[in-house]
Amino acid sequence: MSSGWFITGTDTGVGKTLITSALLHALAAQGKRVIGMKPVASGCTESGSQRSNEDAEQLIAVSNIEADYDTVCPYRFLTPIAPHLAAAEEGVEICIDRIIDCYQILKPQADRVLVEGVGGWAVPINEQYSMGDVAVRLGLPVVIVVGARLGCISHALLTQQCILDRGLPLAGWVYNHIDPDMQRSDAVLASLHDRMSAPLLGSIPFMRNADPQQISTFLDLDQ
């Protein structure tokens, strides 16, 4: 069994953090030691010399192993824009080696480290590399969070193909209802089920103010 998963999404705003937190909760309920990692985050808040990120803090709250904030989330930027733009705005270059070093610190402490990407698979992190390159360097199986809304079939299949083209295995995918007005969602889910090459780990209904424990009840990791 792999020591972790890399969590990507079909887009930004599809519920990656909530699903990653739910996966952490489900794995912890199985008796596993788990840590969530958010290597790059934008849209952070600042208090004095300390920057915090809501996504990273949610992962920390669900993890059952304590870890240093700067290891869990080494890059934290203020402006809520694509990471390479946020980094450039602050005169910082995101270094993959630093991300890998942080992961290697966390890995021996846990049975599973879940690494949540920022944005979608191909979002740049600097002038040379993308979030997908981070996943490749980590060498982890990938879980795709599919944001269930119009256009998600193409987004999911394109994301899957990009991952497979990079030689990484797909651990599974989660169908997350983010649009309460989406039409024929069940038909879309069935269509994706026929075309995705990994197990469906869960279909999450639309819920306002859902928490990771609630979401975890819709996950099936015994596949």
- pLDDT at residue 210 in the model: 86
Mean per-residue pLDDT for 83-110? 97
Of the chain, the percentage scoring pLDDT greater than 70 comes to 99
Structure tokens at 11: 């887009």
- pLDDT at residue 36 in the model: 98
Q: State the pLDDT confidence band at 222, using cuts at 50, 70 and 90.
A: confident
- pLDDT at residue 166 in the model: 97
Transcribe 43-67 into DSSP letters.
Answer: S-EEETTEEE-HHHHHHHHH-SS--
Dihedrals phi, psi of 215, to nearest 5 degrees: -65, -35
- pLDDT at residue 3 in the model: 85
Q: State the pLDDT confidence band at 24, using cuts at 50, 70 and 90.
A: very high
Contact indicator for 77, 86 with CB cutoff of 8 Å: yes
What is the CATH superfamily name and number for domain 4-216? P-loop containing nucleotide triphosphate hydrolases (3.40.50.300)
What is the tens place of the pLDDT at every residue in 119-175? 899 999 999 999 999 999 999 999 999 999 999 999 999 999 999 999 999 999 999
Residue 214 burial by Cβ neighbours in a 10 Å radius (0-12, 13-18, 19+): middle
- pLDDT at residue 169 in the model: 96
Residues annotated as part of the active site: 38
Contact indicator for 5, 143 with CB cutoff of 8 Å: yes
Closest Cα partner for 139 from 6, 1, 40?
A: 6
Instruction: Classify the phi-psi angles of 141: left when phi > 0, otherwise alpha if psi is within -120 to 50, otherwise beta.
Output: beta
Tell me how far CA of residue 160 lies from CA of 68, 97, 146, 157, 169, in angstroms.
Answer: 32, 25, 10, 5, 10
The ranges assigned to domains in the chain are 4-216
Residue-averaged pLDDT of the chain: 95
Q: State the pLDDT confidence band at 187, using cuts at 50, 70 and 90.
A: very high
- pLDDT at residue 48 in the model: 85
